[in-house]
Amino acid sequence: MDVLKLSSSPLHFTTKLSKSQRPKQCMQILLFPSSSFSLINRPNRGFKLCATTFSTEEIGNPLEAVEAESERFDWYAQWYPIMPICDLDKRVPHGKRVMGIDVVVWWDKNESGWKVFDDLCPHRLAPLSEGRIDQWGRLQCVYHGWCFNGSGDCKFIPQAPPDGPPVHTSKRACVSVYPSVVQNDILWFWPNSDPQYKDIMAKKTPPYIPEIDDPSYAKLIISRDLPYGYEILTENLMDPAHVPYAHYGLIRRQQTKNKKADEEGGQPIDIVVRDLDVHGFISNQGLGHGKFVAPCVTYTSLNLPSKERNAKHQDNGTPSLDENNTVAPKTSQRKTMVVFMCIPISPGKSRVIFIPLRNFAVWVNRIIPRWMFHLGQNLVMDSDSYLLHVEERKILDAGLANWQKACFLPTKSDAKVVAFRRWLNKYSDGHVDWRGKFSGILPPSPPKEQLMERYWSHVVNCSSCKVAYKGLNALEVVLQVISIASLGIFAATKQSLVSGAARVLMVAMAILCFASSRWLSHFIYKSFHFHDYNHAIR
């Protein structure tokens, strides 16, 4: 939890406006063009915003009307993260969905690399993710035994006569292969299997964050599927103001000298957003900075107060940035970084890969198991999952083009949220381009226990939590066996053969083991299945 607390500190931002950029009165500004959608049972109010709320030094007003013609963002000409490689088992194929595309990920031992295929066999369209890797290292469909090599070529059809025509060499027997690469310990893929993209890495690479590969930084990686869409996930991770409220008591915040207006410690946050274009945008924030690299990567880097008296800073108190907009290394400076990779799965579903980093107290990660950190990180994600799930549906009811009317964002703390919605609207009509794969209707809301469940959304996909889950369940059984055995020995042993102290010890052991097994059962359920979060109870 220490890593989580450190990496989730509040983000402090600064904004400056020139006198010419400060109108004397508020103005009504539209983010999206008009739409046939209308708000249901709500007054049709405009988005009133004081011009001093957001900086317009670099990108202009974030809520200004979007140009009719602008560069389009191609969602299918980007690299997408699939999973951390530490959570991929080389012995079995893995089925994943990204951008509405079902893929199978498997380890090709012949080429010593991860492969990403279409998750369907060309024979009868059975899912290859339910298959196996045979003794020759080929991906085998378990429906009829067809086998494929790392290039997607069919190498064996059991039903084809050995002396007959080589039907397995037909192009129709091949599986579509997506370009893939491992970078920053994450498996990425290019969502277009056309052969012209086979060497796409030579032209375009995934976003690279050097701190993830830097051994001087301690890192933890967690991934989880979430019951709300990419748009809601991304803007939530760009919103530092919700932390003291939605995650109250879960994330330690830096104390400030400012007088607190409430128990949670919320305060104004000044944010400057600049360089917004089709590729994303940059934000500056006091002692750190952030960046959104469209469509998946958003990160925030902070310089923390150094314990050394002679730590060097720039005159303005901000860290120096290199040409790649990363913090220049300083041996005396403590740094923390939070990296989020937001992955579109389908409407109403997304996946996050969360990587907190720090260059101090690295030894903590060597002592505390990874799964114990995941307990706290999952609790943080659960604490606002239901809020965001409901929020997404209310926004859809209002109509995506009416976002600026449905949501009132009058403070500077929302600058990155507004900038993201402006980017989304300007370059992609306000939503992910699913290319007609979905009807646009969100899936029905399940009960809260299913909405916030952890086992299928995280545990089965996490190598650390999966081992811990099996081990703790085995320990629960052992405790129950010891409890029953102690009572059995107590009942079968004659009083004259065993001292009174020994009999008392057996009974005490039985009670203690039984109580421990019940507590452990409750702990397993709350940690690996479902943990509700009541915001009204402190």
Averaged pLDDT score across all residues of the chain: 81
**How confident is the model at residue 257, as a pLDDT?**
54
Task: Choose among 255, 234, 221: nearest CA to 357.
Answer: 221
Contact between 276 and 316 (Cβ < 8 Å): no
Question: In a 3-state reduction of DSSP, which class is residue 372?
Answer: helix
Per residue, the 3-state secondary structure of 456-505, as one string, reads: CCCHHHCHHHHHHHHHHHHHHHHHHHHHHHHHHHHHHCCCCCCCHHHHHH
Residue 265 has pLDDT above 90, yes or no: no
Written as six digits, the tokens of 256 are: 């400030």
How far is Cα of residue 240 from the mean position of the Cα atoms in its chain? 16
What tokens appear for 300 in the block? Answer: 């925030």
Mean pLDDT computed over 34-43: 32
Coil/strand/helix, residue 91: coil
Q: Specify the DSSP class assigned to residue 241.
A: G
High-pLDDT (> 90) share of the chain, %: 58
CA 278 – CA 71 distance, rounded (Å):
7
Tell me how far apart the alpha carbons of residues 495 and 490 are, in angstroms, rounded to a whole number.
9
Torsion over CA: 308, 360, 304, 259 (sign): negative
Q: Give the whole-number percent of the chain exceeding pLDDT 70.
A: 78
- Give the pLDDT confidence score for residue 23 in this predicted structure: 35
* Beta bridge pairs of residue 29: none
Phi/psi at 377 (5° precision): -65, -40
Residue keyed to tokens 């310990």: 185
> Which two structure tokens, joined as six digits, stand for 228?
């709300």
pLDDT score of 490 more than 70: yes
Per residue in 321-351, pLDDT tens? 343 334 444 445 888 999 999 999 999 999 9
- Three-state secondary-structure class, residue 107: strand
Tell me: the pLDDT tens digits for 51-102?
A: 233 333 333 344 444 444 568 999 999 999 999 999 999 999 999 999 999 9
pLDDT at 515: 95
Cα–Cα nearest to 219, from 324, 336, 319, 329: 336
